[in-house]
Amino acid sequence: MSDSLGSGPEPTPPRATAPTPVTTLRQQLAELRGPAVAPQPLDARALAALAANPGCKRRALLDGAGVNKTALAAALGSPSAFGQSQFAFMRGNAFEARVKADGGTELMRLLYERMGGAGCEAPAPGETRVPDLSAAGPEGRAARTALALREATAAGAWTLLDHPMLALEVAGSPAYLEPDAVVVRPDGHWTVVEIKSFPMIDGSADAAKVGAAARQSAVYVLALERVAAKVAGAEVRHSVLLVCPKDFSNLPTASVVDVRKQRSVTRRQLERLTRIEDLAAALPAGTTFDVERPAEELAAAVDSVDAAYAPECLAACELAFHCREKARAAGAVEALGRSVRGELGGLTTIGEVLAAAEGAAGDPADPTVAALRRAAALRAEALATGAGRC
């Protein structure tokens, strides 16, 4: 009998499956956060702040990786007071619960009163549909929300989605957003509802707070449009309903806020953001933002990513104090504000600006240098005149 009888080709050993780019990126981002550190979810407020400063690679990377910037700022020795107080948080929750009580009867009345029916009958108390949006994890909740929106549009009935979950891709990384409410009208129009606890006095509220709410709502509108594009007959309204306490009471009132401008700006800025994988690939090997690491190592890791500090960051970013300290130490003109930075052209440090103003540096033919020297001369003349009068 031949020795070859029953023998065959040697079995090919199984090949190791190469990790997909998505898996590799997720692993890298997990390493940046630190072992066993859960990612900090992106919310609409963070995305609005990110869109307002798209040139800040530091914030884009940290937010994309899910790093807890509050804990990171404290570990760096520059804790931030940015955020909502516990009292304001509890007051906001209590007001929101009142607005949505009884199946959202008061909320639907305000929406119909402020935004009109356009041929739709006003929703009767107790007849508004409020679907259950519970599901496992943010991905499951986003899928359940998309299904509820499709069903509500097809049914042609007033529907209130309480805290739906929306998904939006930002710089190659998914972000899950949770608006206060979305209302589906019988005609297929979807409206974002934003509930805030700051007062609306005599029909108007603080302009800065309304602007922040508009930018936040614009992010929700963008995410909602991604869902509406796949639903026949659906249309997302570019006006949102802002609900606030009336005067100094706890009674709800509302106004309509047009967010078309904020939506366009936010979409354009988010599209400009460098993709997360590109930012992560440019980091030195072994970089981590794990708050358990020594402060010196953390500072080096943070400083390895370019930032675009401006005074406006103090109201929007937990790392603003750290970035301000670094900008001041470097003498960067950005610490004086974006408008000042734009006026100074190629002069990037305060030392260069002062030298140009004193005539020790700079091209006299440069309009910026000429303006600085003229301003310095006027200042010296004013000081000399004042001293003479004394």
**Residue range 15-44: average pLDDT?**
71
- Residue 34's pLDDT is 83
- Residue 337's pLDDT is 85
Q: How confident is the model at residue 230 (pLDDT cuts 50, 70, 90)?
A: very high
Q: State yes or no: pLDDT of 156 exceeds 60.
A: yes
Q: 281 and 168, same structural domain?
A: no
Q: How confident is the model at residue 6 (pLDDT cuts 50, 70, 90)?
A: very low
Distant-in-sequence, close-in-space partners of 318: CB < 8 Å, separation ≥ 6: 69, 70, 72, 73, 80, 82, 83
Residue after which a domain boundary falls, among 256, 271, 286: 271
Q: 157 and 43, same structural domain?
A: no
- More confident site: 18 or 320: 320
**Residue range 203-213: average pLDDT?**
91
Q: 188 and 126, same structural domain?
A: yes
**Residue range 188-200: average pLDDT?**
95
Q: How confident is the model at residue 55 (pLDDT cuts 50, 70, 90)?
A: confident
- Residue 222's pLDDT is 95
- Residue 107's pLDDT is 95
Q: 291 and 160, same structural domain?
A: no
Residue after which a domain boundary falls, among 225, 249, 271: 271
Query: 323-343, pLDDT tens digit by residue?
Result: 999 999 999 988 888 888 888
**Residue range 368-388: average pLDDT?**
84
Residue 319 lies inside a defined structural domain of this protein:
no
Distant-in-sequence, close-in-space partners of 378: CB < 8 Å, separation ≥ 6: none
Strand partners, 190: 184, 236
Residue after which a domain boundary falls, among 249, 271, 293: 271
CATH code, 223:
3.90.320
Nearest to 318 by CA among 104, 102, 100, 45: 45
Residue 17 lies inside a defined structural domain of this protein:
no
Identify the DSSP state of 37: P
- Residue 26's pLDDT is 74
Q: 227 and 149, same structural domain?
A: yes
Whether the Cβ atoms of residue 133 and residue 153 lie closer than 8 Å to each other: no
Residue 59 lies inside a defined structural domain of this protein:
yes
Domain carrying residue 356: 344-383
Q: How many CA atoms lie within 13 A of 219 on its CB side?
A: 31
Query: 62-77, pLDDT tens digit by residue?
Result: 988 889 999 999 999 9
Q: State yes or no: pLDDT of 173 exceeds 80.
A: no
Find the range with the poorest average confidence among 103-112, 115-124, 188-197: 115-124
- Residue 390's pLDDT is 58
Q: State yes or no: pLDDT of 270 exceeds 90.
A: no
Say what percent of the chain tops pLDDT 70. Answer: 91
Q: 120 and 40, same structural domain?
A: no
Q: Count of domains in the chain?
A: 3
Q: 236 and 186, same structural domain?
A: yes
Q: 254 and 291, same structural domain?
A: no
Q: 246 and 130, same structural domain?
A: yes
Q: 111 and 210, same structural domain?
A: yes
- Which residue type occupies 213? A
- Residue 3's pLDDT is 40
- Residue 7's pLDDT is 41
Q: State yes or no: pLDDT of 362 exceeds 90.
A: no
Q: 132 and 238, same structural domain?
A: yes
Residue 332 lies inside a defined structural domain of this protein:
no
- Entry pTM: 0.76
- Interhelix angle 350-358/367-389, nearest 10 degrees: 70
Mean pLDDT in the chain? 86
**Residue range 34-48: average pLDDT?**
83
Q: 368 and 264, same structural domain?
A: no
Question: Which residue, chain included where needed, has tokens 């409020």?
Answer: 130
Residue 155 lies inside a defined structural domain of this protein:
yes
